[in-house]
Amino acid sequence: QQRDKLFLWIDSFDPHEPWDPPEEYWRQYDPDYKGPDLIMPRVGKTEGYLEPHHVHHVRALYAGLVTLVDKWIGLFLDYLRDKGLLDNTLVVFTTDHGEPLGERGFIRKGCLWPYEELSHIPLIVRHPEGVGAGQRTNAFVHTCDLMPTLLDFLGTDPTNVSEYQRPANAMHGRSFLPVIRGDVKTQWPYGLSCARNQMWSIRDHEYTCMFWANDANDGTVFTEFPVRKVHELELYHRPSDPEEKRNLAVEQADRAREMELTARRLAACLT
């Protein structure tokens, strides 16, 4: 009875490890590579393990998989169009996290850090009525905003969770349809990310502040990744330092502490 009101969740798995696209895909990005098979490099530091051309090849493998996913997404959208479904379907393309591919001298996601390469993820929305078509926004959006956005699109109040038999505070996200429609410029003053409730980051449109929510006791996570102490704040000015390499937490201590306290207050509402 509901076959004409479908909800379809497609998980491509790729570009997850092992990074093993067909050769014609990765050759587009590293045509002259001759070297070891690196579809599953070990998690950890690149120093003493991977030479720069090896890191480049790993990125080529990853890019090849992204290209392959792009191809199949295109075929899927063509199918929806051929079946007359595309113009009455909301399509959302996103992911759960990014991937360290040599940034900071590390490969693969073995460390619990919410730097840009892990937490700044793609989000593409196609509204069936063409609302917001071709536009980009710098508004902060979180993955927890996806469910209320879908409910809002379907005409259901996403703030009323009683009918889903959930407590009143169960819905942390907000619909970003008003952003798509251009009714508002932003829904959130900050972007908030965390890794397993241990390392948190908070972003405004200029700065990113990161901190450990719990004392790491100088241990390690998974392999060789260093774990910082809880009081070692990090603060980066992204417009002048997009790779987040120059820590300004000492130089701008008041800003760093204010952002940390804001993030802790927000995190307390979510955990």
Provide the CATH number for the domain around residue 222. 3.30.1120.10
pLDDT of 221 over the 90 cut = no
Q: Total structural domains in the chain?
A: 1
Query: How distant is the alpha carbon of residue 201 from its chain centre?
Result: 13
Is 244 a member of any domain?
Answer: yes
Is 243 a member of any domain?
Answer: yes
Confidence of residue 110 (pLDDT cuts 50, 70, 90): confident
- On average, the pLDDT of the chain sits at 88
**Beta carbons within 8 Å of 54's beta carbon, 6+ residues apart:** 35, 36, 38, 41, 46
Where would I find the H helices in the chain? 23-26, 52-82, 116-119, 146-153, 177-181, 253-270
pLDDT at 162: 61
pLDDT of 166 over the 60 cut = yes
Q: CA 127, CA 4: separation in Å to the nearest integer?
A: 18
**Residue 260: domain span:** 191-270
> How many CA atoms lie within 13 Å of 25's alpha carbon, on the beta-carbon side?
18
Is 2 a member of any domain?
Answer: no
pLDDT at 199: 84
pLDDT at 212: 82
pLDDT of 54 over the 80 cut = yes
pLDDT at 218: 45
pLDDT of 201 over the 90 cut = yes
